[in-house]
């Protein structure tokens, strides 16, 4: 592309097919080099720099005059050179890991199609794909009908569930607002839930004091008798318990709340039951691991399920499902006539834009649809089983090295919680004082991982213990050898 500028290619020059193709082909080369590097175990995951140093090193300025296309190619290379390779087989840091190639191809197509998902008129194929995929997901939950939407992340999916639950109980709320509600609404969720559930209480006017944290057991599962006790407590004080969030796959421990017990309580006290299965939903594919973890999910009123987590679909791809047909339109429609005309030549039920509180909606379906076509349902089942088996392998390997590693609990999912023991802490009795020291090791060792660039594993405290490592295996790239590498690399970096 030599010294060409933006106005030498489409759409500025009609006769620029060759240059345009050449420019894009060179961008694709950069992307393919990156995909190759991501899958190369000899490559580092990152070249860590402090933000100030990174800022100085990179030319990120925006200029008055245009830059040549060759500079833009350099910009693309530079960006990926300094990006953390989240698809690298030694990246275990986040719930969303991996780089699924078919889903990536889907995302590239999505970008080229560059459409908005609000009407059939401008996204006909994609809207029909949404119907197919979301209908299939509802069937897997155990419902024959219902309503669903793709949302920008699990937190917003949970918010949609909250809004639908409030609409279901107080259909006048949309028009009359707070005056349609007598008493103070109260919602319940376990003390291990994702923070977005509490955020619903803040965003929707309950106040976080009315999002009640139900105690969990030592595995991180909500205790149903505690839920019932707290529901009664609030009812007795004239409050209105109306919404319970059960989590299937908690963010830190990967715990599954007992859905049937929670459903019984919701039924008894006439409360909406939402299941936040953003993380654990993928296990619905697995005959081996679905039960007992997700047993009873079909009794929920709504379910959040993020394919961009365990299923490896590229970010972002989050879905929320409802048992009730038409609930999203009833709850959220504003009937903007410039977009959702009712006298279109096709059935306006295919316009999904009025189901949501945003207007513009990104196309998150194609990459999932293409990935599902490529893998088949059986391929997803194999992936789920493989990820779970690898996590079981990691647990075994940790138990085989009790001098170096301390398993915190038997995981229910691919979250493995553990401490690393450097030499000076080995052989000491395990008590609260030692846990404080082990917690300090986490932050130091994580820093060493980032500086060496060879490994990334997350850590955090919880309300029972100081910092501990949370290892996530949700990438199809990971093998037993990578798990062995992870443990030996932690020991190499952290032993002293």
For ligand ABU (CB under 6 A), the number of binding residues is 5
Residue 250 interacting with ligand ABU (CB under 6 A): no
Residue from 166, 167, 168, 194 touching ligand ABU (CB under 6 A): that is: 194
Contacts of 281 (CB under 8 A, 6+ apart): 248, 249, 294, 303, 304, 305, 306, 309, 310
The nearest distance, CB 279 to ligand ABU, in angstroms, is 7
Residue 475 interacting with ligand ABU (CB under 6 A): no
3-state secondary structure of 150: strand
Nearest to ligand ABU of 276, 351 (CB atom)? 276
CA within 13 Å, CB half, 39: 10
The nearest distance, CB 446 to ligand ABU, in angstroms, is 14
Any idea what DSSP says for residue 320? Answer: E
Nearest to ligand ABU of 154, 411 (CB atom)? 154
Which of 176, 124, 41, 42 lies closest to 347 in space, CA to CA?
124
3-state secondary structure of 202: helix
Residue 39 interacting with ligand ABU (CB under 6 A): no
Residues 280-299 that bind ligand ABU (CB under 6 A): none
Q: How far apart are CA 265 and CA 366, in angstroms?
A: 38
Which of 493, 269, 487 lies closest to 390 in space, CA to CA?
487
Binding mask 95-114 for ligand ABU (x = CB under 6 A): x-------------------
The nearest distance, CB 95 to ligand ABU, in angstroms, is 4
3-state secondary structure of 487: helix
Residue 20 interacting with ligand ABU (CB under 6 A): no
The nearest distance, CB 361 to ligand ABU, in angstroms, is 20
Q: How far apart are CA 243 and CA 112, in angstroms?
A: 41
Q: Which helix (H) or strand (E) holds 164?
A: helix 154-169
The DSSP code sequence of 18-67 is HHHHHHHHHHHHHHHHHHHHHT-TTS-S-----HHHHHHHS-----SSPP
Nearest to ligand ABU of 199, 330 (CB atom)? 199
The nearest distance, CB 24 to ligand ABU, in angstroms, is 32
Q: How far apart are CA 151 and CA 142, in angstroms?
A: 21
The nearest distance, CB 106 to ligand ABU, in angstroms, is 22
Cα-Cα-Cα-Cα dihedral sign, residues 472, 478, 484, 487: negative
Nearest to ligand ABU of 251, 363 (CB atom)? 251
The nearest distance, CB 259 to ligand ABU, in angstroms, is 20
Nearest to ligand ABU of 216, 251 (CB atom)? 251
CA within 13 Å, CB half, 391: 28
The nearest distance, CB 472 to ligand ABU, in angstroms, is 7
Nearest to ligand ABU of 95, 266 (CB atom)? 95
Sheet holding 468-472, edge to edge: 91-92, 456-460, 468-472, 415-420, 405-407
Q: What is the dihedral of CA 299, 302, 306, 307, to 10 degrees?
A: 60
Nearest to ligand ABU of 201, 331 (CB atom)? 201
Q: How far apart are CA 184 and CA 174, in angstroms?
A: 17
Residues 121-160 that bind ligand ABU (CB under 6 A): 154
The nearest distance, CB 94 to ligand ABU, in angstroms, is 4
Residue 94 interacting with ligand ABU (CB under 6 A): yes
Nearest to ligand ABU of 198, 404 (CB atom)? 198
Residue from 110, 158, 245, 251 touching ligand ABU (CB under 6 A): that is: 251
Q: How far apart are CA 250 and CA 257, in angstroms?
A: 9
Residues lying near ligand ABU in the complex (CB under 6 A): 94-95, 154, 194, 251
């Amino acid at each position: 592309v030599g010294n060409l500028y933006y106005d030498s290619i489409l759409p500025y020059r009609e006769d620029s097919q060759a240059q345009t193709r050449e420019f894009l082909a060179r961008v694709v080369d950069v992307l393919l080099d990156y995909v190759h590097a991501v899958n190369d175990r000899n490559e580092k995951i990152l070249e860590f720099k402090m933000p100030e140093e990174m800022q100085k090193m990179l030319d990120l300025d925006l200029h008055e005059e245009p830059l040549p296309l060759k500079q833009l190619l350099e910009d693309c290379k530079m960006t990926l050179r300094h990006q953390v390779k989240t698809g690298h087989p030694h990246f275990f840091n986040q719930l969303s890991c991996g780089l699924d190639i078919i889903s990536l191809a889907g995302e590239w197509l999505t970008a080229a199609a560059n459409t908005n998902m609000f009407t059939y008129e401008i996204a006909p194929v994609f809207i029909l794909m949404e119907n197919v995929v979301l209908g299939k997901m509802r069937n897997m939950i155990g419902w024959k009908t219902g309503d669903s939407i793709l949302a920008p992340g699990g937190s917003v999916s949970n918010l949609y569930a909250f809004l639908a639950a409030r609409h279901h109980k107080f259909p006048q709320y949309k028009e009359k607002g707070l005056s349609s509600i007598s008493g103070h609404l109260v919602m319940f969720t376990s003390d291990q839930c994702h923070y977005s559930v509490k955020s619903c209480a803040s965003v929707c006017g309950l106040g976080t004091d009315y999002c009640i944290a139900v105690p969990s057991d030592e595995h991180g599962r909500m205790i149903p008798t505690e839920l019932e006790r707290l529901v009664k407590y609030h009812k007795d004080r004239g409050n209105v318990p109306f919404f319970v969030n059960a989590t299937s796959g908690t963010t830190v421990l990967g715990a599954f709340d007992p859905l049937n017990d929670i459903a019984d309580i919701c039924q008894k006290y006439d409360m909406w039951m939402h299941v936040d299965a953003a993380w654990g939903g993928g296990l619905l594919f697995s005959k081996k691991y679905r039960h007992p973890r997700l047993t009873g999910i079909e009794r929920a009123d709504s379910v959040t399920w993020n394919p961009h987590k365990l299923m490896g679909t590229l970010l972002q791809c989050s879905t929320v499902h409802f048992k009730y047909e038409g609930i999203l339109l009833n709850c959220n429609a504003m009937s903007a006539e410039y977009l959702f005309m009712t006298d279109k030549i096709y059935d306006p039920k295919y316009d999904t834009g009025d189901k949501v509180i945003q207007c513009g909606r990104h196309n998150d379906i194609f990459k999932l649809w293409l990935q599902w076509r490529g893998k088949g349902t059986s391929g997803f089942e194999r992936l789920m089983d493989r990820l779970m088996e690898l996590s079981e392998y990691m647990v075994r390997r940790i138990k085989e090295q009790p001098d170096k590693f301390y398993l915190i609990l038997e995981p229910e999912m691919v979250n493995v919680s553990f401490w690393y023991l450097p030499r000076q802490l080995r052989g000491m009795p395990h008590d609260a004082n030692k846990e404080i020291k082990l917690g300090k090791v986490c932050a130091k060792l994580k820093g060493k991982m980032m500086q060496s660039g060879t490994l990334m594993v997350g850590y955090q405290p919880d309300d029972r213990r100081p910092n501990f490592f949370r290892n996530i295996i949700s990438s199809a790239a990971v093998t037993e050898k990578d798990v062995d590498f992870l443990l030996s690399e932690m020991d190499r970096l952290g032993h002293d």
